[in-house]
Amino acid sequence: MRLLGLYVFLVISIGLGLLFPENYYVSVVGTTAFFNIILAVSLNLFMGYAGQISLGHAAFFGIGAYTSAVLTTSYGLHPLIALCIGAIITGILSFLLSKPILKLKGHYLAMATLGLGIIIHIILVQEEWLTGGPDGLSGIPVLQILGYDFDSDIEWYFLLAIIASATIWISLNLGESRMGRALRAIHGSEIASQTLGIDTSSAKAQVFILSAVITSIAGSLFVHQQAFISPDSCSFAFSVELVTMVVLGGLGSTFGAVFGALILTILPEILVHFEELEVLIYGAILMVIMIFLPKGVFVSFSELLEHLIKGRSHARRTTA
Amino acid sequence: MFDQFIQFLITGITVGSIYALVGLGFALIYNASDVVNFAQGEFVMIGAMSAIFLHMSGVPYFLAIIIAVLISMLVGMALEKLAIEQARNATVVTTIIITIGASIFLRGAALLIWGKDIYGFPPISGDDPIKIGNVTVLPQSLWIIAGTCVFVIGLRYFFQNTLIGKAILACSYNKKAAYLMGIEVKKMLLIAYGISALLGGIAGVLIAPITYMTYGAGVMLGLKGFCASILGGMGNSMGAVIGGLILGIVESLGAGFISSGYKDAISFFIILLVLFFKPTGLFGKSGMERV
Q: Is residue B265 part of a domain?
A: no
- Is there a contact between A244 and B100 if contact means CB atoms under 8 Å apart? yes
Domains of chain A: 1-315 (1.10.3470)
Q: Is residue B285 part of a domain?
A: no
Q: Is residue B226 part of a domain?
A: yes
Mean pLDDT over residues A277-295, rounded? 89
Confidence band of A320 (pLDDT split at 50, 70, 90) = very low
Q: How far apart are CA A138 and CA A226, in angstroms?
A: 9
Answer yes or no: is pLDDT of A312 > 80. no
Q: Which residues contact A40 (CB under 8 A, 6 or more apart)?
A: A242, A245, A246, A249, A257, A258, A260, A261
Give the residue on A whose Cα is nearest the Cα of B101: A283
ipTM of the complex: 0.88
Segment (H or E) for A113: helix A106-126
Report how many domains make up chain B.
1
Share of chain A above pLDDT 70, in %: 97
- Is there a contact between B108 and A247 if contact means CB atoms under 8 Å apart? no
The gap from C-alpha B31 to its chain's centroid, in whole angstroms, comes to: 15
Please check whether residue A54 touches B, CB under 8 A.
no
- Chain A interface, mutation test: which of B223, B267, B272, B273, most A Cβ atoms within 10 Å? B272
Q: Is residue B268 part of a domain?
A: no
Phi, psi dihedrals of residue B213, rounded to the nearest 5°: -105, 135
pLDDT computed for residue B289 by the predictor: 42
Q: Is residue B213 part of a domain?
A: yes
Q: How far apart are CA B230 and CA B224, in angstroms?
A: 10
Q: Which residues on chain B are in Cβ contact (under 8 Å) with A287? A: 83, 98, 101-102, 105
pLDDT computed for residue B184 by the predictor: 86
- Is there a contact between B98 and A290 if contact means CB atoms under 8 Å apart? yes
- Is there a contact between A111 and B107 if contact means CB atoms under 8 Å apart? no
Q: Which residues on chain A are in Cβ contact (under 8 Å) with B272? A: 112, 115-116, 119
- Is there a contact between A278 and B265 if contact means CB atoms under 8 Å apart? no
pLDDT computed for residue B170 by the predictor: 87
Segment (H or E) for A143: strand A143-145
pLDDT computed for residue A24 by the predictor: 82
**How many angstroms separate the Cα of B72 from the Cα of each of B55, B145, B205, B229?**
16, 21, 11, 20
| Pick from A99-103, A168-172, B89-93, B122-126: least confident | B89-93
pLDDT computed for residue B175 by the predictor: 80
Segment (H or E) for B285: none
- Report CA dihedral (A4, A8, A11, A15) to the nearest 10 degrees: 180
pLDDT computed for residue B291 by the predictor: 42
Give the residue on A whose Cα is nearest the Cα of B84: A291
Give the residue on A whose Cα is nearest the Cα of B37: A107
Domain CATH code at residue B182: 1.10.3470
Mean pLDDT over residues A104-108, rounded? 85
pLDDT computed for residue A314 by the predictor: 59
Q: Show the domain range for B240.
A: 1-127+139-260
Chain A to chain B Cβ contacts (< 8 Å): 130
Q: Is residue B132 part of a domain?
A: no
Mean pLDDT over residues A251-260, rounded? 93
pLDDT computed for residue B8 by the predictor: 93
Give tens-digit pLDDT for A199-254: 888 999 999 999 999 999 999 999 999 999 999 999 998 999 999 999 989 988 99
**Residue numbers in chain B where pLDDT is lower than 70:** 284-291
Q: Is residue B184 part of a domain?
A: yes
- Is there a contact between B272 and A108 if contact means CB atoms under 8 Å apart? no
How far away is chain A from the Cα of B199, in angstroms, using its nearest Cα?
22
Strands A148-150 and A143-145: antiparallel
